[in-house]
Amino acid sequence: MPDSPPPATAPAELEPRVRELERERMHLVTLVEIMREITGTLNFVDILQTITQKLGEMFGLDRCSIFLTEQRGKTARLVASYEDPSIRNYVVDLGRYPELKRSLDSGEVVFIPDAQDDPNLKHIRVALADRNVKTITVIPITWRRVAIGAIFLRTDRDGRAFSEEDIAFTQAVAAVAAKALRVVYRYERLLRRHADQTEAARRAERERIALLAYLRRLMESVAERPGHQSEEQLGRTVADELDRLVDITMAVLAEEGKGR
């Protein structure tokens, strides 16, 4: 007898796998779009704003922001925001964001599955309830194992759950952000170095022009006077005075070189 065909897999059994594949495809497409857009700019604000926009749209987030650390560790700067792109370079007190501070201090992911039940967030529980907030996730942006910033993501109770795969994907985005910021930093440092060298060259040229003008005027003045004396005939007092005048002249030239 011919072999009977294998039983068809029930559609219900395929649904979880289909959802998983769709999520992986969405992650890949979004990551490609982020990398394509950020490679076209060397403006770090534009780079970070692109990331918050893509993540916010993909996950349907209540909030998606990127913070950069401050030197003293008590504040951070909100430099990009999905819900309000006009907010840039806004200083926040980390005391009001314990989950953000914890991630920046430790360099590790902080995931709060139910923000309204978290004891560390009891001081804003009413506000979280008003916003219908469900989860809060903070992904550090690290460079050489040091957190230089963080991606802050918040979902509401009507949205889909934030999975471990979503966290892993956002960590990949954070790694891309760190490398992009490093490229921008090196570029800006190169521009500053070039500007410093250019300014130094301009200053030296102004000093040279001023010195030549001074010497020309001095020689013209001497040439107009009758008689000549050798330097040996000068007294000590006159020699000291000449040294003083030279010092004054060089100081004036240095100021002229600065363009003052």
**99 shares its domain with 155:** yes
pLDDT tens for residues 65-107? 999 998 777 899 999 999 988 888 899 999 889 999 999 999 9
pLDDT for position 75:
92
149 and 176 share one domain: yes
User: What is the percent of the chain with per-residue pLDDT over 70, rounded to a whole number?
Assistant: 80
Same domain, 138 and 30: yes
Taking CA atoms, 4 is separated from 1, 8, 10, 60, 166, in Å, by 9, 12, 17, 46, 41
- Is the CA virtual torsion 179, 27, 45, 133 positive or negative? negative
Reduced 3-state DSSP string for 186-231: HHHHHHHHHHHHHHHHHHHHHHHHHHHHHHHHHHHHHHCCCCCCCH
User: Does residue 219 share a domain with residue 105?
Assistant: no
Burial class (CB in 10 A: 0-12, 13-18, 19+), 6: exposed
Same domain flag for 151 and 216: no
Residue 143 has pLDDT above 80, yes or no: yes
Same-domain pairing of 161 and 186: yes
- With respect to residue 156, please indicate whether it lies within any of the assigned structural domains: yes
Q: Categorise residue 3: left if φ over 0, alpha if ψ from -120 to 50, beta otherwise.
A: beta
Q: Which domain holds residue 215?
A: 199-223+232-257
Higher pLDDT, 70 or 244: 70
215 and 186 in one domain?
no
Q: Is residue 3 part of a domain?
A: no
Q: Does the model's pTM come out above 0.75?
A: no
49 and 148 housed in the same domain: yes
Residue 106 sits in a domain whose CATH number is 3.30.450.40
CA distances from 231 to 43, 83, 204 (A): 62, 79, 30
Whether residue 87 is found in the same domain as residue 213: no
**Cα Rg of the chain (Å, integer):** 33
The answer as to whether 13 is a domain residue is no
Residues 38 and 83 in one domain: yes
d(CA 138, CA 64): 10
Count up the domains in the chain and report the number: 2
Q: Are residues 183 and 245 in the same domain?
A: no
Q: Give the separation between CA 247 and CA 253, rounded to whole angstroms.
A: 10
| Residue where a domain stops, chosen among 137, 168, 190 | 190
Q: Are residues 249 and 180 in the same domain?
A: no
Identify the CA nearest to 104 among candidates 79, 153, 141, 52: 141
Residue 9 lies in a domain: no
Q: Residue 184 has which token pair?
A: 């921008």
pLDDT of residue 229: 53
The confidence score (pLDDT) of residue 7 equals 56
**Where a domain ends, among 190, 213, 240?**
190
